[in-house]
Amino acid sequence: MMRVLSGVLFSLGLFCGSGLAQSKPCTITDHGEYTKKIKEFTTEPFFSTELVDHLPLSSCVPPPDAFLHHIVGAPDVLDYTKDINAYFRLLASKSLRVKVWSIGTSEEGREMLVAAVSDEANLAKLDRYKEITARLADPRGLSDAEAQKLIAEGKPMYWADGSIHSPETGAPEMLMELAYRLAVEDTSFIQKIRNDSIVLITPIVEVDGHDRMVDVYLQHKKHPDQAPYPLIWWGHYVSHDNNRDNLGVTLALSRNMLKTYLDFHPTVMHDLHESVPYLYIMTGTGPYNAWLDPIVISEWQEMAYHEIEEMTKRGVLGVWTHGFYDGWAPNYLLSIANNHNSIGRFYETFGNGGADTRVRTLRPPDTSREWYRPNPPLPKVKWSARDNTNMQQSAILFGMNNVASNGQKFLNNFYLKSKRAVAKARTEGPAAWVFPADDPRPAEQASLLNLFELQGIEVHRTEKEIRFPAADSSHDSDGRREKSAEKSAEKPGAEAKPKEEKKPAETVIPAGSYVVRMDQPYSRLADMVLDTQYYSPRDPRSYDDTGWTLGALRGVKTVRVADTVILDAPMRKVAKIDPRGGIDGQGKTFLIRHNTDNTLATLRFRLPSISMEAAEDSFEADGLKFNAGAFILRNADRTQLEKAAAELGLHAHATNANVAVAAHPISAPRVGIVHNWQNTQNDGWFRVAFDELKIPYTYVADTWLRENSNLREKFDVLILPPMGGGGAAGLSAALRGLPMRGGPRPWQNTVDTPNFVAPGLDSTADIRGGLGYQGLANLERFVSDGGLLLAVQSSTALPVAGGMTEMVNVSDARAMQAPGSVVLSTVDDKKSPITYGYDDKLYLYFRQGPVITVGGAFGGFGPEEGPGGSARSSGRGSTSDPDVIQARPYMPPEKPVKRTPHEQELYVPEDLQEFARWAIPPTDEQPRVVLRFAAEKDLLLSGMITGANEIAEKPAVVDVPHGKGHVVLFANNPIWRAETTGSYFLVFNAIMNFDHLSAGVTPGPPSSPTTKAGDNNDQN
Ligand SMILES: [Zn+2]
């Protein structure tokens, strides 16, 4: 059908763009050929709406098929990033209704875009509209009347972004058609969106992973006889977890999207995902993030139900909400919007992992009718890429039309949320968060505060000491000096209760402290990341981490101040903070306190040829105190060191004093980070941390370990990040790897797969076969020959079940639920180099296990008199009553001996002492519990754990000698999502001291069990 438009539309300014023939009006007709193909590729009429069942044809602006040579949603074809970006640029060159900007590049150098689509008059005034949203985002000093004028003048902005997850390929294609349709279609529905809002589109968020996915998909299309490749790397680092980076903001895509958000302040940010059938529209089950303004909770519901209703009215099947994801953690990409007072939301559209058309069968719960899914998906249906395009495009158009039609309401809500965020300091509180000037980790403190600056959060610095009357205990600001500041840092976020007898008369904040005020627009974001989290076990099972308190995880002191007096204290806003570093004193020996600032590890590797030593004990020089682990540099070049210290925010003291303390060299060892060919997500967080800190490593595959028998020749340290599952199944999977069926499967760049390998990633002639028995043997030999094998979480099963760790066991938790929480640990062995620089206590990120136990040479030495009385037999009375055996005189049981966990682990019954001499290794071959989870009552800081007794007081980090080398096991994940920078140094200490990990151990026969207790157990 031809529909030539009337002259009325010509007069609206519908002209070709880019200087092309301003005189020549554009005509809009129906693109019959395209429309025909849409119908052909749509499998069922109930997977489409009138909004997307056709495409208009403009005489000025090329439709997608003119450039791509296929329609959007065509079967068996996907487009590369450069082509999708080129189509957006083509649109911008041909239409005054489209503008395109680069928003930065990815790790591998691919370009990310944002396109704006709106009426040409709106785009001509885009800077003004950005000014308005920016002013509403920060309404300080704005009267309500002025705000209303801005709202009346402004336009809401709706930002749609595609494919942060690389196997979810529909959105980048759909967004091309959407942009075209919005630019050219003349229905009143589309005109409403164009005239009364500004649509922003980022077609691909994860551009690196997208191109690898297109390689995988098209390779399989060309070679259907071969098994499809696994998508080993999505983006450069962390696969699916790229959508969990909004607290660490360490990936290029997070930084680019955040910067773009802060440039436009879009009203809505909408991520397009693919998974569950057929279209899930995000609201979530709750618990919702408790720091957000409740207005946004209503907005999620209102928008979701509007779209569901419009789709359902048209007979579309399987559009629903609620029962997927919770809305608690603030680490998703869409959190950028929610955390900055806008609306962040997402869709999950059904997908086939590419552009295949396939029959899909479903079963409950996907097909069950629920209150939140009254119109559920069918048990069997043919599903196509075009169905996917129809569903998400239709629904998001309803969403965009809703926002355009109610633009004043949405802008007013945005203003209200921003205004109430500024009022937070004086309404719900707290007034501020303080970062004391005397934090012993200035580089890490600066790193966290600079992260705030990146997030748009203002940071101030106190000009002089601030004193104000101490608040009452229910309202205690706990900003007291040193002692009490430290106390609150032990439990960041907790309003520490002052000891009754020593209640200070006033609160003192030292001059030069940093203050994050809660009377600023992004107060809620700052508060939600610094506060502690309580996740009720009664709530639905969490979708992601339940706790994330950044001060605790980053080892940075924070003080929650409730007293609003602080808001009136003199302070000035600071920009990016460069922690001051340098050298004081004179002399040939340089001393650097070990404060676990991660840049200290950078220093070691930055100056690899300079010899450095670690003090094995604390000592004094020139009247100054230095701790165990302090760096000693004799005869280093002062100029070189000074430059490095200044840039890394490290402080060195030069002296000619005779430094007489036991010390050993600190290495700059050759480190390998191990990966397999199935899932690289967890190792990605290790790589990004090492890359940022400029700590060199080789990325090495399990299959390579199998093929190279002399690993010690090439490496000093091998790191096994969490890889796959733990336990017997995990070990089996690690040994077997990808099945050896078919021919070799190279992972290399070829004509068919030009994007498989990038610098920093790995390649091989064959990805099959895993570590194998030979690889396990090679690893054992590596450790025996003096290497350090560091195994994290699920990977601990490999060296333990592989027989490298005497007296150690790992197991899965039986009933414990710990879905990503912040927990307390205590340093169990202060002499171990792994603990250098740390205080007695340390907060860790912990997720589910494994449970590591030490001892057990005689089997089953658990805490026998523990709660629950599991030690007593069935019989009379209660668990705490004595068991009375009948028909003989009552003989009271032996009084249970209270032993520390350390004593319990090494305990040997008296009558087995002689046997123990042979059964237990000498002290310098025994496992060393370095870090231990706190007692159950002290364990949880943030998040949720049930059944915590399974890990309470159990080892968190264990160092096990084996041959000439060591195996170090982590039950926690020390390098997680760039959030746990406070525990990174456990890894760096282990690495740099890999050949001196036994420092502090006195060789000798097995310790006498009942007499020698751990002398350094810190039982609080
Ligand atoms: Zn996804």
pLDDT at 629 over 50: yes
What percent of the chain lies above the pLDDT cut of 90? 84
Q: How far is the CA of 203 from the centre of ligand 1 (A)?
A: 14
Which structure tokens are listed for 50?
A: 């009138």
Which structure tokens are listed for 862?
A: 């658990």
How many CA atoms, within 13 angstroms, populate the side-chain half-sphere of residue 690?
22
Q: How far is the CA of 165 from the centre of ligand 1 (A)?
A: 5
Rounded Cα–Cα distance for residues 980 and 972 (Å): 11
Q: How far is the CA of 754 from the centre of ligand 1 (A)?
A: 24
Q: How far is the CA of 675 from the centre of ligand 1 (A)?
A: 23
pLDDT tens for each residue of 139-187? 999 999 999 999 999 999 999 999 999 999 999 999 999 999 999 999 9
pLDDT tens for each residue of 408-426? 999 999 999 999 999 999 9
Query: Tell me, what's the pLDDT at 504?
Result: 57
pLDDT at 1010 over 70: no
Residue 401 banded pLDDT, cuts 50, 70, 90: very high
Rounded Cα–Cα distance for residues 395 and 696 (Å): 47
Query: Tell me, what's the pLDDT at 8?
Result: 37
pLDDT at 441 over 80: yes
Q: How far is the CA of 921 from the centre of ligand 1 (A)?
A: 50
Query: Tell me, what's the pLDDT at 724?
Result: 84
Backbone region of residue 76 per phi and psi (left: phi > 0; alpha: psi in -120 to 50; beta: other values)? left
Average pLDDT over residues 439-448: 97
Q: How far is the CA of 271 from the centre of ligand 1 (A)?
A: 9
Query: Tell me, what's the pLDDT at 477?
Result: 32
Residue type, 365: P
Q: How far is the CA of 167 from the centre of ligand 1 (A)?
A: 8
pLDDT tens for each residue of 324-378? 999 999 999 999 999 999 999 999 999 999 999 999 999 999 999 999 999 999 9
pLDDT at 733 over 60: yes
pLDDT at 571 over 60: yes
Q: How far is the CA of 324 from the centre of ligand 1 (A)?
A: 12
Q: How far is the CA of 241 from the centre of ligand 1 (A)?
A: 10
Q: How far is the CA of 725 from the centre of ligand 1 (A)?
A: 22
Query: Tell me, what's the pLDDT at 871?
Result: 66
Q: How far is the CA of 347 from the centre of ligand 1 (A)?
A: 9
Q: Are 548 and 846 in contact (CB under 8 A)?
A: no
Query: Tell me, what's the pLDDT at 804?
Result: 97
Q: Are 946 and 917 in contact (CB under 8 A)?
A: no
pLDDT at 496 over 90: no
Q: How far is the CA of 262 from the centre of ligand 1 (A)?
A: 23
Higher pLDDT, 236 or 891: 236
Q: How far is the CA of 161 from the centre of ligand 1 (A)?
A: 12
Residue 863 banded pLDDT, cuts 50, 70, 90: very low
Q: How far is the CA of 479 from the centre of ligand 1 (A)?
A: 42
* Residue 100, C-beta contacts closer than 8 angstroms, at least 6 positions apart: 88, 89, 91, 92, 113, 114, 115, 116
Q: How far is the CA of 974 from the centre of ligand 1 (A)?
A: 26
Average pLDDT over residues 203-222: 98
Rounded Cα–Cα distance for residues 15 and 790 (Å): 64
Q: How far is the CA of 367 from the centre of ligand 1 (A)?
A: 21
pLDDT tens for each residue of 522-537? 999 999 999 999 999 9
Q: How far is the CA of 108 from the centre of ligand 1 (A)?
A: 21
What percent of the chain lies above the pLDDT cut of 70? 91
Query: Tell me, what's the pLDDT at 498?
Result: 40
Residue 476 banded pLDDT, cuts 50, 70, 90: very low
Rounded Cα–Cα distance for residues 261 and 253 (Å): 12
Q: How far is the CA of 18 from the centre of ligand 1 (A)?
A: 36
Q: How far is the CA of 624 from the centre of ligand 1 (A)?
A: 54
Rounded Cα–Cα distance for residues 618 and 100 (Å): 59
Rounded Cα–Cα distance for residues 89 and 203 (Å): 12
3-class DSSP state of 302: helix
Helices (H), 198-251: 207-222
Q: How far is the CA of 166 from the centre of ligand 1 (A)?
A: 8
Query: Tell me, what's the pLDDT at 267?
Result: 98
pLDDT tens for each residue of 824-858? 999 999 999 999 999 999 999 999 989 999 986 55
Against a cut of 0.95, is the pTM above it?
A: no
pLDDT at 1008 over 70: no
Q: How far is the CA of 266 from the centre of ligand 1 (A)?
A: 21
Strand pairing partners for 16? 95
Which structure tokens are listed for 371?
A: 């209150």
Q: How far is the CA of 966 from the centre of ligand 1 (A)?
A: 40
Mean pLDDT check: name the lowest of 188-202, 209-223, 749-763, 856-870.
856-870
Distances in Å between the Cα of 101 and the Cα atoms of 98, 107, 112, 155, 651 are 10, 18, 9, 20, 43
Q: How far is the CA of 350 from the centre of ligand 1 (A)?
A: 11
Instruction: Tell me which residues have their CB within 5 A of the ion that is ligand 1.
Output: 165, 168, 273
Average pLDDT over residues 84-105: 98
Average pLDDT over residues 715-732: 92
Q: How far is the CA of 181 from the centre of ligand 1 (A)?
A: 25
Residue from 362, 303, 85, 117 nearest 211 by CA: 85
Query: Tell me, what's the pLDDT at 902?
Result: 85
Query: Tell me, what's the pLDDT at 362?
Result: 97
pLDDT tens for each residue of 899-914? 888 888 888 777 877 7
Task: Please report, in angstroms and rounded to a whole number, the separation of the first and last CA atoms in the chain.
Answer: 81
Rounded Cα–Cα distance for residues 408 and 410 (Å): 6
3-class DSSP state of 611: coil
Q: How far is the CA of 254 from the centre of ligand 1 (A)?
A: 15
pLDDT at 486 over 50: no
Query: Tell me, what's the pLDDT at 473?
Result: 33
Q: What are phi and psi of 653, to 5 degrees?
A: -115, 125
Q: How far is the CA of 238 from the centre of ligand 1 (A)?
A: 13
Rounded Cα–Cα distance for residues 880 and 296 (Å): 52
pLDDT tens for each residue of 656-690? 999 999 999 999 999 999 999 999 999 999 999 99
Q: How far is the CA of 415 from the centre of ligand 1 (A)?
A: 30
Q: How far is the CA of 122 from the centre of ligand 1 (A)?
A: 32
Query: Tell me, what's the pLDDT at 3?
Result: 43
Average pLDDT over residues 542-566: 96
Cβ neighbours, 10 Å, residue 169: 26
Rounded Cα–Cα distance for residues 970 and 951 (Å): 13
Higher pLDDT, 898 or 526: 526
Is the preceding peptide bond at 377 cis, omega within 30 degrees of 0?
no
Residue 103 banded pLDDT, cuts 50, 70, 90: very high
Query: Tell me, what's the pLDDT at 373?
Result: 98
Mean pLDDT check: name the lowest of 434-448, 794-808, 859-873.
859-873
Q: How far is the CA of 924 from the centre of ligand 1 (A)?
A: 49
Q: How far is the CA of 208 from the centre of ligand 1 (A)?
A: 15
Query: Tell me, what's the pLDDT at 481?
Result: 31
Query: Tell me, what's the pLDDT at 229?
Result: 97
Q: How far is the CA of 284 from the centre of ligand 1 (A)?
A: 15
Residue from 101, 384, 450 nearest 260 by CA: 101
pLDDT at 491 over 90: no
Q: How far is the CA of 700 from the centre of ligand 1 (A)?
A: 28
